[in-house]
């Protein structure tokens, strides 16, 4: 009886650990979405331009991307629970500082602190779950439930942020992290067991970290600012040169490093590479296309920001419903077929957006979002589980950080590429429509209406074209995983646990 009680307690503890890391992940992702709503108020309070305010988001993205692999390696080396709690604690501290910031410079500094600390969450949380849920099916289910918190945060950010800002001011979106964060830290201390790589090391790859960080900084910077600067401007060309040089330097360093920040042998594992490619393409197409939805809803359908946020609630429900289903398929259906099917469904959902027009109702957005999210959801657990299954257990943290890094960079690529496509397509459409149109009036009112109609048709067609391109990219990305083969998927992961 005592043995059964201990087993039951261990089973319950695993799910408490899952809830604990969900709180941390949800809070970190919530902060990324909720702050965008506060920017207009911050601009007014600080007396800054919209362009200057853009650095509040850019600085966060840069710092977050750079430090993900570093935290993943540190978690494997000095202990995942330790790194998780340190990162979470500094994130809460940075949130309070951001809530007390007095000008743009202080805000940017405090947002960088938040981003550096917040980037510890993904690699350590995934590694903690991978070593907590040792059974393959159970692990996939847990990873699926945890993954759904990403979408939940993206949806609830606008819904929670609006009332907070309206009733308590923009500083409340940062200060709200304090009570929730304290609860998350207490739960982490209480429930999470310490784990680390069994391979002891006294060396940390600082040169590899610096070269990787520099390369990622330049990459994210040019993706974020390239459309504003011009993709072939001097500033962009300098960034391209530095990206290539630092990538070459990073590879040289990692080949000779005693304990590299990124084990390049990962990229010799076909399942790892194929999953990474699929993950990159899916997120590039999804984020690159979906970031336009609120803009379309507010510009052409007359929705408010809050109403636009409501459109995403069914999407979150679909993703949270699909994620456990995908996890439950582990062991019953090969991972590559589940990921392939999920990616196809996501592509179909995005394709439905290509039929949007100014007469579309709410369902014309809600249904495609839900279809896309369901497809993404039931393949998400399989993607993370494949990564956890094919790498050495001692390197789960750094492997998961590469997966997170691919998602972040894919999102930045998608927004940059589709933003450029949209801008160029609008211009092309205006020229094309104008060439095949005739106005037989010299009345200024008629001419004004004509110009407005041409611009409207050009913009709507450009949005339709971007969604079509995004769906094709995701559709093509589905086929990357069909070539994936996992010779021996581990169902048990053995690590040093204290």
Q: What is the pLDDT of residue 452?
A: 60
State residue 3's pLDDT score: 47
Would you state the pLDDT for residue 11? 61
**Which of 101-110, 177-186, 292-301 is predicted least confidently?**
292-301
Structure tokens at 64: 């977050």
Residue 495's pLDDT is what? 35
pLDDT at site 493: 38
Question: In the structure encoding, which two tokens stand for residue 55, read together?
Answer: 């650095």
Q: Identify the pLDDT of residue 184.
A: 85
Q: Is the pLDDT of residue 497 over 70?
A: no
Note the pLDDT tens digit of each residue in 253-275: 888 877 676 777 778 888 788 88
- In 3D, which of 285, 294, 269, 302 has the Cα closest to residue 413? 285
Distance of CA 276 to the CA centre of its chain: 14
Q: Do 1-205 and 263-490 share a fold? A: yes
- 343 vs 217, higher pLDDT: 343
State yes or no: pLDDT of 348 exceeds 90. yes
User: Per residue in 119-147, is it b (16+ CB within 10 Å) or e — as a string?
Assistant: bbbbbbbbbbbbbbbbebbbbbbbbbbbb
Gyration radius of the chain's alpha carbons: 23
Any idea which of 50-54, 81-85, 494-498 has the lowest mean pLDDT? Answer: 494-498
Q: What is the rounded CA–CA span in Å between residue 10 and residue 19?
A: 14
Residue 272 CB partners (closer than 8 Å, separation 6+): 266, 386, 387, 390, 391, 399
In this predicted structure, what is the pLDDT of residue 272?
A: 81
Residue 378: the pLDDT is 79
More confident residue, 41 or 113: 113
Domain spans, the chain? 1-205, 206-257, 263-490
Question: Do 94 and 117 touch, CB atoms closer than 8 A?
Answer: yes
Stated pTM of the model:
0.69
**Superfamily grouping for domain 1-205:** MFS general substrate transporter like domains (1.20.1250.20)
Window from 73-82, 88-97, 235-244, 397-406 with minimum mean pLDDT: 397-406
Fold adopted by 263-490: Growth Hormone; Chain: A; (1.20.1250)
pLDDT recorded at residue 96 = 92
Question: In 193-207, which positions are buried (b, 16+ CB within 10 angstroms) versus exposed (e)?
Answer: eebbbeeeeeebbeb
Q: How confident is the model at residue 457 (pLDDT cuts 50, 70, 90)?
A: confident
Q: What pLDDT shows up at residue 492?
A: 41
Is 498 a residue whose pLDDT tops 60?
Answer: no
Mean pLDDT of 58-82: 74
Does residue 200 register a pLDDT over 80?
Answer: no
439-448 as b/e: b if 16+ CB within 10 A: eeeeeeeeee
């Amino acid at each position: 009886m005592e043995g059964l009680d201990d087993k039951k307690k261990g089973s319950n503890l695993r799910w408490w650990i899952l809830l604990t890391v969900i709180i941390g992940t949800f809070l970190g992702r919530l902060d990324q979405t909720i702050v965008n709503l506060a920017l207009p108020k911050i601009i007014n309070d600080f007396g800054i331009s919209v362009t200057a305010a853009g650095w509040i988001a850019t600085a966060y993205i840069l710092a977050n991307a750079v430090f993900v692999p570093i935290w993943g390696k540190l978690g494997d080396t000095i202990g995942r629970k330790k790194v998780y709690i340190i990162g979470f604690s500094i994130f809460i501290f940075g949130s309070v500082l951001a809530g007390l910031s007095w000008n743009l410079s202080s805000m940017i500094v405090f947002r960088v602190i938040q981003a550096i600390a917040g980037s510890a969450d993904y690699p350590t949380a995934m590694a903690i779950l991978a070593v907590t849920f040792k059974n393959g099916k159970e692990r996939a289910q847990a990873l699926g439930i945890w993954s759904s918190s990403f979408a939940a945060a993206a949806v609830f950010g606008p819904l929670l942020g609006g009332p907070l800002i309206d009733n308590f001011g923009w500083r409340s979106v940062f200060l709200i992290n304090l009570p929730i964060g304290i609860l998350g830290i207490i739960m982490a201390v209480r429930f999470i067991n310490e784990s680390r790589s069994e391979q002891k090391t006294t060396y940390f790859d600082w040169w590899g970290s610096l070269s990787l960080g520099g390369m990622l900084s330049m990459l994210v910077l040019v993706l974020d600012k390239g459309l504003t600067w011009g993709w072939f401007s001097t500033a962009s060309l300098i960034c391209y040169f530095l990206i290539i040089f630092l990538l070459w330097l990073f590879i040289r360093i990692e080949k000779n490093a005693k304990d590299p920040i990124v084990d390049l042998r990962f990229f010799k594992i076909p399942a790892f590479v194929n999953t990474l490619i699929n993950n990159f393409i899916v997120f590039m197409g999804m984020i690159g296309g979906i970031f336009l939805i609120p803009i379309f809803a507010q510009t052409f359908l007359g929705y408010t920001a809050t109403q636009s946020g409501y459109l995403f609630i069914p999407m979150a429900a679909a993703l949270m419903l699909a994620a456990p289903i995908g996890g439950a398929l582990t062991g019953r259906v090969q991972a590559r077929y589940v990921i392939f099917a999920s990616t196809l469904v996501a592509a179909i959902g995005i394709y439905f957006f290509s039929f949007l027009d100014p007469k579309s109702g709410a369902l014309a957005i809600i249904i495609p979002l839900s279809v896309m999210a369901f497809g993404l959801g039931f393949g998400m657990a399989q993607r993370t589980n494949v990564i956890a299954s094919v790498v050495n257990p001692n390197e789960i943290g750094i492997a998961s950080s590469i997966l997170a890094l691919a998602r972040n960079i894919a999102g930045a690529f998608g927004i940059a590429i589709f933003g450029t496509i949209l801008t160029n397509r609008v211009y092309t459409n205006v020229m094309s429509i104008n060439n095949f149109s005739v106005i037989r009036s010299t009345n200024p009112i008629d001419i004004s209406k004509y110009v407005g109609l041409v611009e409207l048709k050009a913009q709507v067609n450009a949005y339709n074209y971007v969604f079509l391109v995004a769906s094709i990219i995701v559709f093509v990305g589905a086929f990357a995983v069909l070539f994936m083969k996992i010779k021996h998927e581990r169902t048990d992961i053995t690590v040093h646990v204290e």
